[in-house]
Amino acid sequence: MPASGADHGRGLRYLPGLDGLRALSLIAILLYHSAFPWARGGFLGVTVFFTLSGFLITSLLVREREATGAIRLRKFWQRRAQRLAPGVLVLFAVVAAMLFTGSIAHSGGIAGDAAATATWVANWRFVASGQSYAAIFSAPSPFQHMWSLAIEEQFYLLLPGLLLLCLGRKAKTRRWVLALVLLAAAAASTWVCAAMFGHGSTTRSYFGTDARVAEPLVGALLALALLGRLGLRELKRWVTGLADVLAVGALVGLGLLMHGLGQYDSHLYRGGFLLTALLTAFVITAASQQRSLVGRALSIPPLVWLGRISYGGYLYHWPVFLWLTQRRTGLSTWPLLSLRVVATVALATASYLAIEQPVRRARRIGIPVLVTGWATASVSLVGSVVVAATAVPALVSVSDAIPDTAPPLPAVVAGPAAPGVIARPQPRKPGTPKPSATSPTAVATTGPTARPVTRVPGSSPSSPTTTHAPVTKPTKAPGPPPPPPPPQLRIAVVGDSLADNLGAGMIAWAKGRKDVVVYNLSIPGCPIAPGGTRRFPDGYEHDVSATCAWWTKPSDQRSVNLAKFNPDILVMEDALNEMVDRKLPSWATYESPGDPLYDNWLLGQYKQALKAMNPQGHAKVIMLNAVCGNWNTETMQHFQGSDAESAKRIDSLNSDYASMSGVSLEDLDGHLCPGGQFTDTIDGVNNARQDGYHLTDAAALAVATRWLGPIVLKAAPA
């Protein structure tokens, strides 16, 4: 976040209106993270911050160059470090404390997130991990918001060198050269953002420094336009009046963008970010003038104070939001937002007064001390975060980076079936005597001193609980050897991310048994019906990955492994990825569940999938129906539309599934959503569907143990 107030430096007067603009930007971000549907574009507050940063930092550097003939890079970076580093260290301490106390959950990658935050490369960490629309289904990282600080720090690192190169070392500056370079860089960045989005990489377009640097560059260009020989220019009265009118229109425009643009809206990546930055520039222009009405309106004390602590407010709001949830507090939306805002402001105020400002005003802190202190403190605090994270189980993590390789085949171990379980019988070789019937609780050992052994049901064959009859000598030759133990019941799970949750739960359930083995071939983010382009409610369009069509290719490793595994039971679940609009190349428009064209196509795809996955018809197929969700959570509002529309699509899908032949349809929706109502308590596990849809590890295991496992065992072939 851009520095406030006193950071304006040599020759630049304090502009309280800019603090007011910061406050409005922070409020937009808080509303966005509160999942208000009318603030779905509140994340654009980050773009406002970017543009402010570019304006202020360029103003400082150019003014210093023109006033002194030089840019003291060590001093500049020292001021940046003293301003930004203390708050981040406090963030590490806050997150570690929350993890130690179990106040927040986390995903398995929190150690990498913390390290990336400490080295100011969090944005590239998210790019490298392939996070995109489906990555929001993982447990949110408490460092998830630090990508924007990483982009700003990288901008602070590169801009001074660019200014020195363009302005030259002589007394006379060459602003026009700098302006042309900045303009070209902004245009290139806007092109990169659109091009990356065109290749289906929302992650790259959203988090990449090169794709987002146009926003601070707009601020930098504005600084060149407004800077005079003695500081910021005072515009003529009529020009100031015009600036006010344009600024009011810009504020209205920003409000409309923050209301209507979703995070995956194609317009956002094809000029939306740039438009937001340009509108912000109009507001900054008015706020920079002493006689501006907009500047005065933005200078009211509450807004100014919130703007002054906005850096800490941004740093701490996200962990606070993860901590103060509706489940934990029991509060409805507006009371919950009020509590979150109070906690965030209190923490930001304490940090600002007690830590950030004292460090910032210290005059005797040199670069070596700052670097050493940062390295020592950050390593220690990152270590604390990692240690604390080990005490909190990671939630199920879903990535949109669809793996090309199949999961390894599980080891299939022959062994006796557990009591009451019907396992697949092993075929007899020709000439092998048919084994005689025996009681399941009476097993005769062989040998000259054999004794009848009675096994307690459920005991291990290797260490049975036995009672012994009197020893008698055999009166006839030993009988044929006992038949080999029956093989394990083979269960394969296919589908999307919810199927992946259930598959993981089934594997955990199977670890406690000797009679079953589970192979999870589910792919998060992949519909069973492949092909075409999906369109999400917020406008994001995404081609279905070719990997999802694995079952159409007999040579694909997943197909090969499934054939080798030869399942007795095939469990299929896929709903969320089939609910969204789809368009095939041969279709004129997008279609959705409930449309005859879509329904007929979907049923045809499932029929082909069943034939490919179960060519001999050996496996019994269990189809799990589509389930309800809490579509108002921050996660799910990006993926589905209104409650009524989502419920309609679920009903349409379940009607399609009910018409499928050759499958046993099981009511997963009735189990997870009793009475058709969403609940966050599943089989005794609280907070079981934290993102509003998917199951945590604990919930998935409970569902496998109490519901899906018994269904599968009952369906086992005789």
Crossing angle of the two packed helices 110-118 and 367-389, in degrees rounded to 10: 170
C-alpha to C-alpha distance for 224 and 9, rounded to whole angstroms: 16
DSSP 34-87: TT-GGGTTGGGHHHHHHHHHHHHHHHHHHHHHHHHSS--HHHHHHHHHHHHHHH
Mean pLDDT on 57-77: 85
Q: What is the pLDDT of residues 680-713, one digit of tens each?
A: 899 998 888 877 888 988 899 999 999 999 999 9
What fold, for 490-715?
A: Rossmann fold (3.40.50)
Would you say residue 313 has pLDDT above 50? yes
Neighbours of 458 (CB within 10 A): 9
pLDDT of residue 421: 42
Q: Is the separation of the CB atoms in 708 and 520 below 8 Å?
A: no
Buried b (16+ CB within 10 A) or exposed e, 338-365: eebbebbbebbbebbeeebeebbeeeee
C-alpha to C-alpha distance for 147 and 140, rounded to whole angstroms: 14
Report angle CA 570, 574, 579 to the nearest 5 degrees.
Answer: 160
Most confident of 188-202, 491-505, 530-544: 491-505
Which bin fits 627, alpha (ψ -120 to 50), beta or left (φ > 0)?
Answer: beta
pLDDT of residue 460: 37
Q: Which token pair is 459?
A: 């005991």
Computed over its alpha carbons, how large is the radius of gyration of the chain? 32
pLDDT of residue 389: 57
pLDDT of residue 99: 84
Mean pLDDT on 42-46: 95
Residues 6+ apart with CB under 8 A from 494: 521, 522, 528, 551, 570, 571, 572, 573, 574, 613
Buried b (16+ CB within 10 A) or exposed e, 152-174: bbbbbeebbebbeebbeeeeebe
pLDDT of residue 549: 92
Place of tokens 């344009």: 246
Place of tokens 């064209």: 597
Task: Report the candidate in 404, 397, 302 with the shortest Cα–Cα distance to residue 690.
Answer: 397
Tell me the pLDDT band of 177, cut-offs 50, 70 and 90: confident
pLDDT of residue 344: 97
Neighbours of 25 (CB within 10 A): 28
DSSP 3-state of 103: coil
Neighbours of 371 (CB within 10 A): 14
Q: Is the separation of the CB atoms in 637 and 588 below 8 Å?
A: no
Q: Pick the residue with more confidence: 69 or 456? A: 69
Spans of all domains in the chain: 5-389, 490-715
Give the H/E segment covering residue 313.
helix 310-323
Give the H/E segment covering residue 570.
strand 569-573
C-alpha to C-alpha distance for 668 and 665, rounded to whole angstroms: 9
Q: Which token pair is 258?
A: 């923050």
Q: Which token pair is 207?
A: 């988090």
The DSSP secondary-structure symbol of 352 reads I
Residues 6+ apart with CB under 8 A from 596: none
Q: Which token pair is 470?
A: 């009197």
C-alpha to C-alpha distance for 473 and 487, rounded to whole angstroms: 34
Q: How far is CA 621 from the centre of its chain?
A: 32
DSSP 126-165: HHHTT--GGGGGSPPPTTGGGHHHHHHHHHHHHHHHHHHH
Task: Report the candidate in 347, 306, 323, 264 with the shortest Cα–Cα distance to residue 580.
Answer: 264
Q: Pick the residue with more confidence: 122 or 388? A: 122
pLDDT of residue 457: 35
Q: Which token pair is 434?
A: 């048919």
Which backbone phi and psi does 574 adopt, to 5 degrees? -165, 120
Q: What is the pLDDT of residues 238-297, one digit of tens each?
A: 999 999 999 999 999 999 999 988 777 788 999 999 999 999 999 999 999 988 999 999
C-alpha to C-alpha distance for 374 and 378, rounded to whole angstroms: 6
Q: What is the pLDDT of residues 198-246, one digit of tens each?
A: 765 677 889 999 999 999 999 999 999 998 877 788 889 999 999 999 9
Q: Is the separation of the CB atoms in 717 and 620 below 8 Å?
A: yes
Q: What is the pLDDT of residues 343-401, one digit of tens each?
A: 999 999 999 999 988 888 876 666 665 566 566 666 666 667 666 655 555 544 333 34
C-alpha to C-alpha distance for 163 and 186, rounded to whole angstroms: 15
Q: Which token pair is 158?
A: 């590169």
pLDDT of residue 443: 35
Mean pLDDT on 548-575: 93
DSSP 3-state of 682: strand
Mean pLDDT on 530-557: 84
Task: Report the candidate in 625, 628, 635 with the shortest Cα–Cα distance to residue 657.
Answer: 625
Task: Report the candidate in 671, 573, 694 with the shortest Cα–Cα distance to residue 622.
Answer: 573
Q: What is the pLDDT of residues 466-515, one digit of tens each?
A: 444 445 555 556 667 666 656 789 999 999 989 999 999 999 999 878 89
Q: Is the separation of the CB atoms in 404 and 547 below 8 Å?
A: yes
Tell me the pLDDT band of 139, cut-offs 50, 70 and 90: low
Mean pLDDT on 314-330: 87
Q: Is the separation of the CB atoms in 485 and 416 below 8 Å?
A: yes
Mean pLDDT of the chain: 81
DSSP percent split of the chain into helix, strand, coil, nearest 5: 55, 5, 40
C-alpha to C-alpha distance for 578 and 201, rounded to whole angstroms: 21
pLDDT of residue 342: 96
Task: Report the candidate in 51, 2, 48 with the shortest Cα–Cα distance to residue 219.
Answer: 51
Tell me the pLDDT band of 419, cut-offs 50, 70 and 90: very low
pLDDT of residue 486: 62
For residue 49, give the amino acid letter.
Answer: F
